[in-house]
Each structure stands twice: as C-alpha cells, then as structure tokens.
Structure 1
Amino acid sequence: MKKNILLIGGSHGIGFELVSQLHKDHEVFVASRTADKLSDLDVTYIQYDAETDELPTDELPEKLDGFVYCPGSINLKPFKMLSAEAFEKDIQLNFLSLVKSLKAVEGLLKKSDQASLIFFSTVAVKTGMPFHTSVAAAKGAIEGFAKALAAEYAPSFRVNVIAPSLTDTPLAEKLLGNDKKKEKMNERHPLKRVGTATDIANCARFLLSDDSSWVTGQVFGIDGGMSTLNVG
C-alpha cells in the first residue's frame, strides 16, 4: 500500500539510502537543510533546518503514515574535554529538535490508520563505551522517549528505535578516514565489518512497512553483534 512518509534529514547517509529504497513505492517527503542528490529521485523536498526552523506543514499532505528523524551527531571526546554547552548541543540536535519536528506533524500522523515512527539511537546507550558520554546521553533520551510515546499512543502510532554501531556514512568520516582506521573498526565487531547505510535502511524500511504491524516500543541493535556478543 502506498504511504505518505516524511523524513527529517535524508539528503545523505542512512536517510538518503532509505529515501532511495522508498521513493518508487511511496510518496516521500524529505525536510532537510540541503537537497544534495535528491533531485535525481521522485520525492518532495522541503528546505528545513531542524534546529532553527519551523517545519512548513503546508507543504505536506493531509495525512502522514510514516515519520523518520535522521539528524544526529558523533561527538566522541573524553568527559573532561566536553563542556556543558557541548552536551546541550548534542541534546538539542538529537532529541529536542526531534520533539519539535514531531510536534509539528502530530496531527497529520493521527490521521493515518496506524502511523510508524522511527528514531535513531546508538549501540553506546546499551553498551557503555569511553568517550561517548554526550552522544549516549542524547540518544538515551530518545530511547526512553520512544518507549513512553509508543505506550501513550498505541495503537494509533507504532514507535521504534534503531541503534546502530559505527556505520560507514559521511557522519563517520573522521573515524573511517583511511584503510587502517576502517580495518581496526571492522575488527571490533563480531561480524568483522562496520555497518553500511543499506544495513540500517533495510531495517527502517521494514519498520515503515505493514510487515512490522505488530512491532512497537522496540530498540533494534543493528550493530554487527557489538551490543550482545563478546567473541574475544
């Protein structure tokens, strides 16, 4: 069934891969700061900065069946080097701007028979990792929020979270900038490779589809086994 799906962000990385998978079968709306390669796809682009702008809902359809919030950060530093302002910035981008964007379209989502909402977290919420205090705090807020929202809005909304490990996207460029770095990161994962945008988008596509109609309030660790396996 053709759905109306809104992505906040979606012009690069995981978001763009998801748009690429969805646009032929659904009406896809992408609200992001830049269009990048979106002009090559059959989507509706809306210029929008989630941190500073109000979402122009007059450019959206009367009903939304899916909502995906893609913006995020990877701010990895020792706690002693992180200012309080750095924490505020990560919380603002990852969580508070999500809430603002969702508030703007809550009424449109309620018109769907059962809207699917997808947010992104990180493996570092479940598995404590050094230098992740800021991003883990911001993403942890998302996980708690998602479960509470799923309970409050069931059965009208399904709300799920995808928690990847390191994924080969522009956001992770500094961590995967050369072959040596990438090989080191590959070895950290039980499946011996970092994730790809396709790995994560495949899960998101499933959660937006009717195939996942009995799935809500879950956090999916799409992480190469990082959060649950210790293979030595």
Structure 2
Amino acid sequence: MESASFVVVGGSAGIGLEITRRLAAKGCPVVVISRSAVSVADLPGVTHLEADVTQDEIDIGSLPERVKGLVYCPGSIRLRPFHRLKEADFLADLQINLLGAVKAIQACLPGLKKADNPSSIVLFSTVAVGTGMPFHASIASAKGAIEGLTRALAAEFAPKIRVNAIAPSLTDTPLARTLLSDEGKRAAAADRHPLKRVGKAGDIAAAATYLLEDASSWITGQVLAVDGGMGALRTFK
C-alpha cells in the first residue's frame, strides 16, 4: 500500500481501532475521528480529531489535504420487537449509521478527489439487510440505506473514488457486549453461524484494509459479506 493519508471515523474502538492499528503498522498516516483518543494515543502516525459525528461538525481544516481512504465505522445494534420501536429509534439509527456517514464523506470528498490514484470509501452494513431477522427492523432499515448509498456513490464517483461496504454478522466488539455477555449467549450465537463462531474485529478489519488497498482497485459498488456464512448458507445435519 502506498504511503498516503487515511481517515477512520470511529477508529478508537472495536473494528475501527483494529483498522487503525493495521494501517499504522503499514506506516500509513491516519486521522482518527472519534470522541476519545486514549486507545490510539501511542500508535505511530496516528492523529486524533475529537468529534461526535452525530452532533458535531467535522473540522475540514484539520483533515488531510489528500485522502487515500475513508472508513466510517460508527454504528448501532438496536434489537427490539417492531411494536416497541418508536419513530425516535428509527431516526437515531439513521443518524448514526447513514447521516453520520454522509457527513464524513462530504467532509473528506475534496481530499478523496485529490488522491494520486483512485481513493476508497468503506462503509458498514449488516447481514440483517440481505437476510431477514426478527427484531432488526430499525437497524436493518438504516443499514439498507447504507447499501443504497454505497451503490449510488460508487456510480457517481467512478472512476476517481471507489465505494464499497462490508456486511458483517455478529462480531465480538464493545458494541455487541450485551449480546455476548455470558458463555451461553456466546455459544448459541456461534452455533447459528455455519463456521461455528462469532466474528472477531480482525476478521472485519482485514476485509476493510483490503478494500482500502490498491490490490482491490477493480472493486467498487459491492457489499462484501464477512459473516461466517450466515447470509448465504444453511447447514443441515
């Protein structure tokens, strides 16, 4: 991967932190936009920009002049029966998943256009968009909007900027802590996946890093399933 600047929104925890670590290990300058700098303070080549993308404007003047890649990681897991969901719940999921991504892309767009080679945007969907799951109405709606945004922007920005998304299944991160809070829940979640385990942050970060690299330069407009087989397979014994 060529030495260039990357922006990772939500890069100080979970999958975003793992992406930041992998980019830093490759010697890439990284700007992390998040509420806390504690976990990235000692990573070489990493600059922190404090902001809550659901509330704050992004300081465009603090962003790199040339942006090789942008990853938008913030998300939510709001699992409730449909009759218990309020309009405010749908709006909150759209705010963090869709509108925050729109804000980040618009802020970074001038820098993405200035990159020497085609730059890359990586967004996050969920397996629950393509595979109907109970209690996922709000988050699947918001992430479905992300998949639409991915394809629309991939068409609009081609050939200068590539846009792809990753659709994970349940991944062991702080965001999913309550769903994996004991060994019984963890074992049941693992058993639902054909590969018989839940995801790790590194599984998803490896895919995201690949989509940022020039090795993926002929990939755009795609939603890559990194889900332990959950979305495509049914195993019967």
Q: Structure 1 length normalisation: TM-score?
A: 0.98
Q: CA deviation at 1:104?
A: 1.3
Q: Which secondary structure does the structure 1 equivalent of 2:56 belong to?
A: coil
Partner of 2:39: 37
- Contact kept in structure 1, 2:150 and 2:221, CA below 8 Å: yes
Once superposed, which parts of structure 1, at least 4 consecutive aligned residues long, lie more than 3 Å away? Answer: none
Q: Which secondary structure does the structure 1 equivalent of 2:16 belong to?
A: helix
Partner of 1:120: 124
One-letter amino acid of the counterpart of residue 163, structure 2: V
Q: Residue deviations 1:18-77, cap 9 Å, x none?
A: 111111320111010111311121200000110111111212221101000000000000
CA distance in 2, matches of 1:70, 1:115: 17
RMSD of aligned residue pairs (Cα, Å)? 0.7
- Contact kept in structure 2, 1:12 and 1:36, CA below 8 Å: no
CA distance in 2, matches of 1:98, 1:223: 22
Q: Does residue 14 of structure 2 align to residue 13 of structure 1?
A: yes
The sequence identity of aligned pairs, in percent, is 52
Q: Which secondary structure does the structure 2 equivalent of 1:163 belong to?
A: strand
Partner of 1:224: 228
- Contact kept in structure 2, 1:69 and 1:98, CA below 8 Å: yes
- Contact kept in structure 2, 1:121 and 1:162, CA below 8 Å: yes
Partner of 1:93: 96
Q: Comparing 37-46 with 191-200, which one deviates more in the overlay?
A: 37-46
One-letter amino acid of the counterpart of residue 12, structure 1: A
CA distance in 2, matches of 1:80, 1:122: 22
Q: Which secondary structure does the structure 2 equivalent of 1:29 belong to?
A: strand
Structure 2 residue runs of 5 or longer lacking an equivalent are none
Which of the numbers 39, 46, 70 marks the counterpart of 2:49? 46
Q: CA deviation at 1:224?
A: 0.2
Which of the numbers 136, 143, 149 marks the counterpart of 1:139? 143
Partner of 1:165: 169
Q: Does residue 113 of structure 2 align to residue 110 of structure 1?
A: yes
Q: Structure 2 length normalisation: TM-score?
A: 0.96
Q: Which secondary structure does the structure 1 equivalent of 2:226 belong to?
A: coil
CA distance in 2, matches of 1:197, 1:61: 26
- How many equivalent residue pairs? 232
CA distance in 2, matches of 1:36, 1:184: 33
Q: Which secondary structure does the structure 2 equivalent of 1:37 belong to?
A: helix
One-letter amino acid of the counterpart of residue 188, structure 1: R
Q: Residue deviations 1:179-220, cap 9 Å, x none?
A: 111000000000000000000000001000111011100000
Q: Which secondary structure does the structure 2 equivalent of 1:173 belong to?
A: helix
CA distance in 2, matches of 1:100, 1:44: 20
Q: Which secondary structure does the structure 2 equivalent of 1:100 belong to?
A: helix
Q: CA deviation at 1:116?
A: 0.3
CA distance in 2, matches of 1:221, 1:33: 28
Q: Which secondary structure does the structure 2 equivalent of 1:68 belong to?
A: strand
